[in-house]
Amino acid sequence: MISFSYKALPWNILFGAGSLQRLPEELNKLGFTRALVLATPEQVTQGQDLVNLLGARAAGLFDQAVMHVPAETVALAAKEVARLNADCSVSIGGGSTTGLGKALALKLDLPNIAIPTSYAGSEMTNIWGITENGRKVTGRDDRVVPTLTLYDPELTMTMPPQFAGPSGLNAMAQAAVNIASGDINPIVTVMAVEAVRALSNSLPKVISDPGNIDARTEALYGASLAGGSLGMGTTGLHHRLCHTFGGTFNTPHAETHTILLPHCVAYNAAATEEATRRLADAMGVENAAIGIFNLAKAVGAPTALRDIGVQEADLDKAAKIATETPVNSPEPVTMERVRNLLQNAYEGIEPR
Ligand code: NAD
């Protein structure tokens, strides 16, 4: 029997190579005249190019976006908003920069426009996160969904392969948990299946042929759908474990997702047999967990927690923290079984 609830998010999306050039006209349509451009120090050139493109519509550039959206950074950016009398933010970058735009939307009700350059997918969710006193607080609020998201695959061409691989697997995780999990929403699943198909088809080509705009386009398209499935869908054991490692051991975001995903899919496989088959079919493989593991290897992404700075001695603590509160999971979650999963992920063995 089919039974579900569904509430759409207020997306407004422009997708296509070269679409960045339409931003000035889109700002006009939205009635914004003083945009504060947000970027990381690493992408300051792209930020400056955007300021130049916007001309008189740009109020300024804030180039201090960093990972995990520290509250101090939000405060500094908020000061710039006030000083420059900005009427919107335009974030150009990965999930960290999008996250700063979302934080300003949350704190100041400042409309945000997202121009994603990685596969993080944050622009498609209503999830915000701000780190204060070493603790990342997250929540859901539709006010942080960008007023406009402009996807231009040409902006992803500069993403180095060693980042593009894990970033793509991070997207894959958002979709995979919305296919093979307990509380499936059929509308979200349609989106997630298409995301997995597009990502598994394109990511190996992005890595083997970085200049291939068609592959980059398909990967960004897959990532946007994957982000959408996270935005309207569910999370479970996989995201719990990633949050635990990122929050407690400061492991890199996309790589942590890449390593843990195959093991979490294997963990739930017996309890979600039909759904896990659908995930495997979307990838064109026999076994979903092993297929994801092999994809991670094919794109040169790390597959072992020990390769991203996790110590074996940390695994007990991680298993304990991750299972302290109930986890949304079709397969019952116990500390012992999670500890076993983490051992496999630590060693980087094939998921089972
Ligand atoms: P990131 O934004 O930190 O980017 C990593 C580095 O790559 C940065 O220096 C960035 O400037 C650079 N970069 C990004 N795109 C580039 C490009 N095309 N060319 C050259 N350099 C580029 O990393 P990320 O993986 O994109 O995002 C991770 C963050 O996003 C995490 O903090 C995570 O929690 C958050 N996130 C949030 C959500 C959500 O729904 N709220 C979803 C996914 C990720």
Ligand 1 pocket mutation, candidates 11, 43, 48, criterion most atoms within 8 A of CB: 43
User: Which residues' Cβ are closer than 6 Å to ligand 1?
Assistant: 40, 42-43, 67-68, 93-97, 99, 117-118, 120-122, 125, 127, 129, 155-156, 158-159, 163, 167, 253-254
Same domain, 147 and 166: no
CA of 259 to the centre of ligand 1 (A): 17
Same domain, 304 and 171: yes
Same domain, 60 and 194: no
Domain span including residue 178: 161-347
Quote the pLDDT of residue 1: 77
CA of 234 to the centre of ligand 1 (A): 21
Enter the DSSP assignment of 333. P
- Single residue among 129, 156, 183 that ends a domain in this structure: 156
CA of 243 to the centre of ligand 1 (A): 15
Q: Does residue 8 sit within a domain? A: no
pLDDT one digit per residue (tens) for the chain, 352 residues: 788 888 899 999 999 999 999 999 999 999 999 999 999 999 999 999 999 999 999 999 999 999 999 999 999 999 999 999 999 999 999 999 999 999 999 999 999 999 999 999 999 999 999 999 878 899 999 999 999 999 999 999 999 999 999 999 999 999 999 998 777 799 999 999 999 999 999 999 999 999 999 999 999 999 999 999 999 998 999 999 999 999 889 899 999 999 999 999 999 999 999 999 999 999 999 999 999 999 999 999 999 999 999 999 999 999 999 999 999 999 999 999 999 999 999 999 999 9
Longest dimension (CA), the chain: 59
Q: Does residue 315 sit within a domain? A: yes
Same domain, 173 and 213: yes
Same domain, 67 and 116: yes
Identify the CATH number of the domain in which residue 69 sits: 3.40.50.1970
Q: Does residue 192 sit within a domain? A: yes
Quote the pLDDT of residue 181: 78
Same domain, 151 and 210: no
Same domain, 83 and 192: no
Question: Which tokens belong to 239?
Answer: 């995201």
Count CB neighbours of 92 within 10 A: 29
Burial of 272 (0-12, 13-18, 19+ CB in 10 A): buried
Quote the CA–CA distance of 119 and 129 in Å, as a whole number.
Answer: 18
16 phi-psi bin (left φ>0, alpha ψ -120 to 50, beta other): left
Alpha-carbon distances, residue 16 vs 12, 71, 91, 192, 193 (angstroms): 14, 33, 18, 20, 21
Question: Which tokens belong to 244?
Answer: 């635990």
> Can you tell me which atom of ligand 1 is nearest the CA of 68?
32
Same domain, 199 and 334: yes
Question: Which tokens belong to 225?
Answer: 């759908």
Question: Which tokens belong to 119?
Answer: 């596969």
Same domain, 38 and 145: yes
Handedness of CA 53, 82, 102, 67 (dihedral sign): positive
CB 43 within 8 A of CB 92: yes
Identify the CATH number of the domain in which residue 255 sits: 1.20.1090.10
Quote the pLDDT of residue 247: 86
14 beta partners:
150
Quote the CA–CA distance of 215 and 204 in Å, as a whole number.
Answer: 9
- Single residue among 156, 172, 200 that ends a domain in this structure: 156
Count CB neighbours of 36 within 10 A: 26
99 half-sphere exposure, CB direction, 13 A CA radius: 24
61 beta partners:
37
Helices 213-232 and 186-208: crossing angle, nearest 10°? 150
Q: What is the CA radius of gyration of the chain?
A: 20
SS3 readout for 28-78: HHHCCCCEEEECCHHHHHHHHHHHHHHHHHEEEEECCCCCCCEHHHHHHHH
Q: Does residue 242 sit within a domain? A: yes
Same domain, 255 and 307: yes
CA of 254 to the centre of ligand 1 (A): 8
Type of residue found at 23: L
Q: Does residue 3 sit within a domain? A: no
Domain count, the chain: 2
Q: Does residue 255 sit within a domain? A: yes
Quote the CA–CA distance of 287 and 41 in Å, as a whole number.
Answer: 41
Same domain, 143 and 187: no
CA of 10 to the centre of ligand 1 (A): 22
In the chain, where do the E strands start and end?
13-15, 35-38, 58-62, 88-93, 112-116, 127-132, 135-140, 148-151
CA of 117 to the centre of ligand 1 (A): 8
> Can you tell me which atom of ligand 1 is nearest the CA of 126?
40
Quote the CA–CA distance of 45 and 176 in Å, as a whole number.
Answer: 34
Q: Does residue 227 sit within a domain? A: yes
- Single residue among 140, 156, 172 that ends a domain in this structure: 156
Same domain, 136 and 194: no
